[in-house]
Structure 1
Amino acid sequence: MESHILSLTVALLGFLSPCLTRLTPRVSFPMGSPGRHLTCFHSHNIRNTTTLLLSEDGDWLYVGARDAVLALDVSNKDQIHLRTKLDWSPSDKDLDQCSMKGKKMADCNNFIRVLQFLNTTHIYACGTFAFSPRCTYINSETVVMSFQSDEGRGRCPYDPYQRNTAVIVDEELYTGTVADYRGNRPVISRHLSEGNRVDLKLDDTLGWLEDPTFISSRFIPEEEKIYFFFSEVGTEYDFIDKFIVSRVSQICTSDVGGQRTLQRRWTTFAKAQLLCQADNELPYNVIQDIDTLPPADGAPADDTLFYGIFTSQWSVNSGRSAVCSFRLADIKSVFSGNYKVLNRDTLQWSARVQEKVANPGECGLHNASDNALRFVKENFLADDSVHSVGRSLTLVSADSYSHLTVQRVRAANSRHYIVLFLLTESGYLHKVVLLQSGAHIIEEVQVFEQPQPIKSLKLSIPKGMIYIGTSEGVVKIPTANCSFYWTCAQCVLSRDPFCGWDSVSRSCVGISDTPATLLDQDIDRGNVEEACNSVSLTDRTKFGPNKLPGASCPAGELVSVSLNEVVRLQCPAASRLSRQLWERPNSRLSSDLYLHLEDGSLSFVATPTTLGHYLCLSTENGYQQTMAIYHVKQKSSPIAQTPTSSAHPQTHPIPTTQTVTRPGSRLHTPVGTWPKKTKSRQGQTNPTLSVRGPQFSATQPSRNLTSWTKESGWRETEFQDGEPLLAVRGHCHLKEIVVLSVLLVLCLSLLITMGIYVIRPQCHSRTTPQADTPARDIRTPVDQGVLRENEFLSKCNRQASGHVSGLACNRTLTGSNSHLPNTPI
């Protein structure tokens, strides 16, 4: 009966769950993209570089790999150097014994799973060592073993694919792992204790842990407690088998066990459920990773936040990930409340009804009475659950996240923002800023292509770097990528708290470089007009690196087509959050004639009505900019085609469009152009498109450009040197007068010829004898009139075709059917 009730509840909650809105990264960088620099370390004989340990100054990265411990020099921003490699592999005898146990030879190596600083001179390391764990001490300077390895049972897992956690406090090792070969004895234990302190572990007979998967552990110095995060089977829910719940447990570092009861066992162990759930939704109950965000300067330790990734075992939330945050004050409140009691006869949990004898989880219970220790021994599960901050979800995504790290950043507007770095299962790193309006994904960077079974994430705040360890190698990524945004508008629209627009250097720079001259970024709203209202014309038209020589203004691309031909005009997107619009001067794009495609392009059939100019606009967060200008004209014969300008020929070709596509996604990441804004003579700001290619650098100054705006029609736009380009109007009309005169003469000659043709039969009929049979024209008068009209129009069209003016950049009219390069994303 209870199972049917649960199924009905799950179905109802799934129906009530709101539709998931997929968060779209604003900019995407595929692997190898020049817009996002990655530094990689890999070697053909070094694999499984997944355990990372970063020095306090951020100059050294110690890596636990397969059969080796590495010391990598990461002090250089753009390089990773292997300084020392310590080989630590099992012997042939150990490998044979592992194989005899039925294990694969590929899993019988020594996979380093514990790597922690013991003190200022030594590192403590543990490895699986052919399913027989071993631990050793390593000198952190020379990376040499100081002692022989000893047994690592209870300190390191046997299976290289089994998750574990470890932390060292005051040269004592606290671990969460399994203590047997089969993985059936989970333990939270302390090792390396000396003096009157003894090693401690959980009581195996009490069922304190139920098939857990350990995720992480954190030491809070102010509390003198270590918190362990894991998922396990929730035995308090008896209506379903193996219902998974996420847990937080605590132990006190001062615990030394009981004198008679709980000898060499924890007296301060307690656990509670972590609830990552929104109202009227099923909980995300399986924790994947968690990271700690220390409180802001001057704030109490109770403001410490724990950000975690959660997935769901329910099919309605399959494939989704949620991020929740938990406050230390809420965790302490739950542990100081009531506890559930377990009926040993029925194995049923229930809320406490009897009077408290002791406070479970309280430090100092090792000196308590036997009655108090028996009480905390049987009452270790908190009655209440730890709810997320605000009882809401920080982030919900259709991407399957596996690891995260978090940082608090002080932006250019002097406000603090929380930035999350989330690693997806598919190999992308998402950079997310938490705003008042919700989460905003600033960018995504592809860090590996093939799925990685084990991976890790490490953040270096002093160096501003993120390190990702995978089976293939180590990747280093800067947390900031400000130089990618080379205009004030793009710098503001990124809403990146690491970046700010410098009004002196006229560039987007890191907040730590020149904070005194940075403009207000407006991270929350991303309002370009307000944030960039004091930026000069030069700032607005500044180009980024590798810009195209001679392409200081966007050319109106000439597209020659034949009548009744299907035309498709491409519109590059400023970002994946922008929306493309199409406009024509003094005309409306009717849905009967034009088709707006999903990729932002415009398709139509070439007719006399659809020939002319087209303007592609990109709109993002209320800011509009021109991305492309096209002039569609009818093809003309080489004889009738006359040059429209005596300007110098174009010497710098537009680079080939380069488009990169994320696997499994319909969204493309174009590389090649970026927009900029120019200012008209009337003081209005008219958006234009600047073209750049990775293989070029700009040397020529800006030019004038004739562009079209909704308010003022076609106007000549002014640039720095004041040299005009070919304009749509205002040039000499001598050529047009000559052409019209020739056409007039031809039309008059044709009319005279037609008149003679009509009069001649009448004259001939008068002089022909009546006896003869007159010749008859088989055409009707209507057919003859149509024939004459067609002949007239055909001759006029042959003479008048090919004389349509267009836009030009640098005095050159583009005569190719190719489209403008796409904008880099």
Structure 2
Amino acid sequence: MEHQGLLSIIVVILWVMAVCVARLTPRVSFPMGTPGRCLSRFDSSDVGNTTTLLLSDDGDTLFVGARNAVLSLDVSQEDAIVMRSKLDWSPSEKDLDECSMKGKKKTDCPNFIRVLQFLNSTHMYACGTFTFSPRCTYINSETFSLVTSPSGKPEEGRGRCPYDPYQRNSAITVDGELYTGTVADYMGNRPVISRHLSEGGHVDLKLDDTLGWLEDPTFISSNFVPSEEKIYFFFSEVGREYDFIDKFTVSRIAQVCTSDVGGQRTLQRRWTTFAKAQLLCQSDNELPYNVIQDIVTLPPPEGAPVDDTLFFGIFSSQWSVNSGQSAVCAFRLGDIKAVFAGNYKVLNRDTLRWSMRVQEKVANPGECGLHNASDNTLRFVKENFLADDSVHPVGRSLTMVSPDQRYSHVVTQRVQAANGKDFTVLFLLTESGYLHKAVLLEKGAHIIEEIQVFEQPQPVKNLLLSISKGVVFVGSSEGVVRVPASNCSYYWSCAECVLSRDPFCGWDPSVKVCTHANSIQDNVGQDVEGGNVQEACASPMPKFRFGLNKGKADSFPVGELVSVSLNEVVRLQCPEASSLAHRHWERPNSRLSPDLYLQLEDGSLHFLATPATLGHYLCLSTENGFQQNLAIYQVKQKSSPTPQAAAPGMMTTRPQSPALPPTTQAGSGGWLTPHLTGPKQTKPEPTAPARETPVTTRRTSRNFTFWVAQSGETETEAEWQGGEKLLLGQTYLKELVVVSVLLACCVSVLLTMALYSVRQRCRSRTAPQTNTPGRDSERGGPQEREALRGGQSPCSNGMRNGQMAHNGQANGVVCNGTPRGSNGHLPNTPI
């Protein structure tokens, strides 16, 4: 019962967390192939799994570890990625057959390059899975060729590279020595942090397998901090100190000193400086995001102390209630050092349980230089390597939370805005194949844009940032994609440039373009923190208001001309400048009645073409308090009217199209929100072929194309056929009340008639029947009989052939499918 109560409390807390998390929406989205975001891509039919990335010092060459090959790609050109050379490193047929005999899939048996590092200015070091038998080799960077070892045999890669291509690992080289975190056996049961290729007075080191220093870890990343002379490893593992929950996953940071050479008697050829602590990505009074996915280092600003170095990590949750969310936490180097300098837990060797008791410190575990310490000191270090305290994030709060995106990789850089303030920009790769570009503001994170970089989910992928070139490289099974860090030319106006809140971009008033902020001399239009257009732009784009022109037609802007016939369904499209903006429509000196107009979620406006609905239409966008024009249309009747587009007041025999479902007006500014459809509509009778006319705005750089449907019947089929297309938010409360009242009346009448019939039968037993009601009186009057037979009333043409008719106001009658009010137009308010 206690466990059930605890589980219930945890579920409630997680649910509250999920409800309270604000949704982070990218301002602009670029699906794959969108011309507004140009990417460079490399892929080849004979090259796959291009996931291990290494960039040269000059940034012009990208070395890629792929399947059975190492590639040298030329990335010096902005619009192309060209393969310079390919170094084949494939297993033999014999090796592949032996891998299959081990029970492994053939697709997992090739040589997947998982380690690719620079050793010095002339050589690289590469390791691959090589049919579940890891091997390593040297590569000459100048000639780009394999270097044979002195023995002439391949170098064994055990402890340097994983056996399984899907196992995560970490590797980094410092002064020609390789530091790795991986598994050292075929079954993956021997995790190890080790040093290889040691030279001089150094020796190869590893963890003692018998001490339980690692508990089923998943290695994520490793970083070198020169000022500390330490390698920091980041991984997740089972937290044995939490014995009240089975296999509770925790995120760790571990450290070793590069100067470590092992103990003289105790811990010989073993780390004497190994220590680990928990990374706690958690806000106060909330459950932690306990599984680390990726982490990256952000150096401190120029002139700041080294302790201000930040580590930005992506974390997820092991609980299914919270599995769809990702959190970003930042950890400060100074806080990490303070935790490692504190107290340590005690491990009971008999029970392998951690004690919360903190004993007196004999030495400081993790301190460099312990290889010369006494055996007593090394025994203390050997048994006390887990820090008692946890490393909390900066400000003890989450940097960013995404409730609907699962992030897998991250890279970051610090960007200086035009006002001299530094901003942190994160590039986050989602599991669904999008790259999110986010800037961290005082009020929270703001996602500037999202770019689709691959189509299918990728099990293995990687990110690499080149600050000097201003690009992000994304490696996956589909190939390598280069994404420019900024896309300033996409924003066509000062308002859009400022609203993007991109610290890379600013508006240049001299040439009236949005470009890199550091290339503008003065008067830069930029406000990253607030996005205030009025202050950042000297003359922001004015908003045209129809009401200010006193209804004079010659003072209206011309707009895009849309020719229609009467009684046709018109669809005016409004471009989406930003997903954070609200769009609404306006007309000159009149209100858009929700009874006549319908605005959908895509911003389009639907209405029936009548003399009352002809004229000008303006689509406006409001974002961050600033309003701008997006589209202007002028809807006119065709010069040669067709028989179905009759003049007002004339009778036509053409069945009328169903009326547009009504909407309600919500929010300030008259923004219309779509609503749910009601009862199923009957299919209208088409009378004219569907025609669509492309309409484009003056902003051709935005690549917008508008389509206006000009056939009422065919458009109606697409919109309301069978009632299958739902228009969110429609309500039928009035109709429900009317139907309920009518039903109650009918039931009362039926009861009255039944009682009357019983009374008549009783009378007939005692009195002669002199007058038998006729069949007409039993079934009602002539109008009722006509309705029951399905006959047509004088005003029933609107219901013929499955068509719906409009119910006008008290003085309006609908005949021949043409709705009429007192002036022959569509009534504004149906009953």
> Is TM more than 0.5 here?
yes
**Does residue 269 of structure 1 match 2:274?**
yes
Distance in 2 of aligned mates of 1:171 and 1:345: 40
Specify the alignment match of 1:474 in structure 2: 480
Specify the alignment match of 1:404 in structure 2: 410
Specify the alignment match of 2:335 in structure 1: 330
Deviations 1:546-583 (A, max 9, x none): xxxxxxx86243353424x5544332222111111122
425-434 vs 611-620, which deviates more?
A: 611-620
TM-score (norm 1): 0.75
The one-letter amino acid of 1:79's match is A
Gaps of 5+ in 1: 541-552, 642-665, 667-671, 676-688, 697-788, 791-796, 803-825
Specify the alignment match of 2:43 in structure 1: 42
Change (3 A) 1:202 1:281: same
Contact 1:187 1:202 in 2 (8 A): yes
Report SS of the residue matched to 1:381. coil
**Does residue 314 of structure 1 match 2:315?**
no
Specify the alignment match of 2:654 in structure 1: none
Distance in 2 of aligned mates of 1:502 and 1:287: 42
Distance in 1 of aligned mates of 2:358 and 2:24: 47
Change (3 A) 1:673 1:31: farther
Deviations 1:93-133 (A, max 9, x none): 22222122111122111111000000111001111111111
Q: How many equivalent pairs are there? A: 646
Q: CA deviation at 1:673?
A: 9.5
Distance in 1 of aligned mates of 2:695 and 2:622: 16
Deviations 1:484-539 (A, max 9, x none): 11211111111111111122222111134x232351401111111111115799xx
Specify the alignment match of 1:142 in structure 2: 143
Specify the alignment match of 2:619 in structure 1: 616
Larger relative contact order (CA 8 Å, sep ≥ 6): 1
**Does residue 10 of structure 1 match 2:10?**
yes
Q: What are the within-5 Å matches in structure 2 for residues 400-549 of structure 1?
A: 400-512=406-518, 514-517=519-522, 519-533=524-538
Deviations 1:337-387 (A, max 9, x none): 111112223332122342111111111111111111111111111111111
Deviations 1:236-278 (A, max 9, x none): 1111211111100000111111111111111111111111112
Distance in 2 of aligned mates of 1:673 and 1:330: 59
Change (3 A) 1:342 1:673: farther
Q: CA deviation at 1:473?
A: 1.1
Q: CA deviation at 1:26?
A: 1.1
Contact 1:559 1:630 in 2 (8 A): no
Report SS of the residue matched to 1:516. coil
Which of 572, 578, 583 is residue 581 of structure 2 equivalent to?
Answer: 578
Contact 1:673 1:693 in 2 (8 A): no
Report SS of the residue matched to 1:298. coil
Contact 2:448 2:502 in 1 (8 A): yes
- The percentage of aligned residue pairs carrying the same residue is 70
Specify the alignment match of 2:564 in structure 1: 560
Specify the alignment match of 2:601 in structure 1: 598
Specify the alignment match of 1:368 in structure 2: 373
Contact 1:636 1:801 in 2 (8 A): no
The one-letter amino acid of 1:500's match is G
Distance in 2 of aligned mates of 1:674 and 1:250: 60
Deviations 1:606-664 (A, max 9, x none): 555544433221111111112223344566754999xxxxxxxxxxxxxxxxxxxxxxx
Which of 286, 305, 309 is residue 304 of structure 1 equivalent to?
Answer: 309
Contact 2:177 2:197 in 1 (8 A): yes
528-537 vs 191-200, which deviates more?
A: 528-537
Specify the alignment match of 2:725 in structure 1: none
The one-letter amino acid of 2:3's match is S
**Does residue 569 of structure 1 match 2:572?**
yes
Contact 2:312 2:330 in 1 (8 A): yes
Deviations 1:196-222 (A, max 9, x none): 211110011111000000000000000
Q: CA deviation at 1:593?
A: 4.0
Report SS of the residue matched to 1:94. helix
Specify the alignment match of 1:625 in structure 2: 628
Specify the alignment match of 1:816 in structure 2: none
Distance in 2 of aligned mates of 1:506 and 1:347: 69
Specify the alignment match of 1:116 in structure 2: 117
Specify the alignment match of 1:71 in structure 2: 72
The one-letter amino acid of 1:422's match is L
Distance in 2 of aligned mates of 1:183 and 1:113: 16
Specify the alignment match of 1:649 in structure 2: none
The one-letter amino acid of 1:262's match is L
Q: CA deviation at 1:586?
A: 2.1
Q: CA deviation at 1:191?
A: 0.6
The one-letter amino acid of 1:207's match is G
Report SS of the residue matched to 2:589. coil
Report SS of the residue matched to 2:521. helix
Contact 2:581 2:621 in 1 (8 A): yes
The one-letter amino acid of 1:625's match is Q
Distance in 2 of aligned mates of 1:141 and 1:348: 53
The one-letter amino acid of 2:8's match is L
Change (3 A) 1:142 1:570: same
410-419 vs 245-254, which deviates more?
A: 410-419
Distance in 1 of aligned mates of 2:315 and 2:541: 47
The one-letter amino acid of 1:619's match is T
Contact 1:405 1:458 in 2 (8 A): yes
**Does residue 199 of structure 1 match 2:199?**
no
Contact 2:507 2:526 in 1 (8 A): yes
Distance in 2 of aligned mates of 1:38 and 1:614: 36
Contact 1:225 1:253 in 2 (8 A): yes
Specify the alignment match of 1:741 in structure 2: none
Distance in 2 of aligned mates of 1:186 and 1:691: 57
Distance in 2 of aligned mates of 1:42 and 1:595: 46
Distance in 2 of aligned mates of 1:487 and 1:338: 57
Change (3 A) 1:92 1:228: same
Contact 2:433 2:453 in 1 (8 A): yes
Specify the alignment match of 2:101 in structure 1: 100
Distance in 2 of aligned mates of 1:2 and 1:258: 48
Specify the alignment match of 2:798 in structure 1: none
Distance in 2 of aligned mates of 1:595 and 1:125: 62
The one-letter amino acid of 1:622's match is G
Report SS of the residue matched to 2:414. strand
Distance in 1 of aligned mates of 2:91 and 2:400: 44
Distance in 1 of aligned mates of 2:50 and 2:92: 21
Contact 2:558 2:634 in 1 (8 A): no
Contact 2:490 2:702 in 1 (8 A): no
Contact 1:557 1:629 in 2 (8 A): no
Specify the alignment match of 1:25 in structure 2: 26
Q: CA deviation at 1:47?
A: 0.9
Gaps of 5+ in 2: 545-556, 646-673, 675-693, 706-811, 814-819, 826-831
Report SS of the residue matched to 1:83. strand
Change (3 A) 1:591 1:622: same
Distance in 2 of aligned mates of 1:5 and 1:375: 40
Deviations 1:394-447 (A, max 9, x none): 111111111110000112222111000011111111111111111111111111
Contact 1:459 1:466 in 2 (8 A): yes
Contact 1:554 1:628 in 2 (8 A): no
Report SS of the residue matched to 1:375. helix
Cα RMSD of the aligned pairs, angstroms, is 2.8
TM-score (norm 2): 0.74
**Does residue 125 of structure 1 match 2:129?**
no
Q: What are the within-5 Å matches in structure 2 for residues 621-700 of structure 1?
A: 621-632=624-635, 637-638=640-641, 690-691=699-700
Which of 254, 257, 261 is residue 256 of structure 1 equivalent to?
Answer: 261
Q: What are the within-5 Å matches in structure 2 for residues 51-70 of structure 1?
A: 51-70=52-71
Contact 2:533 2:540 in 1 (8 A): no
Distance in 2 of aligned mates of 1:674 and 1:577: 23
Distance in 1 of aligned mates of 2:562 and 2:55: 56
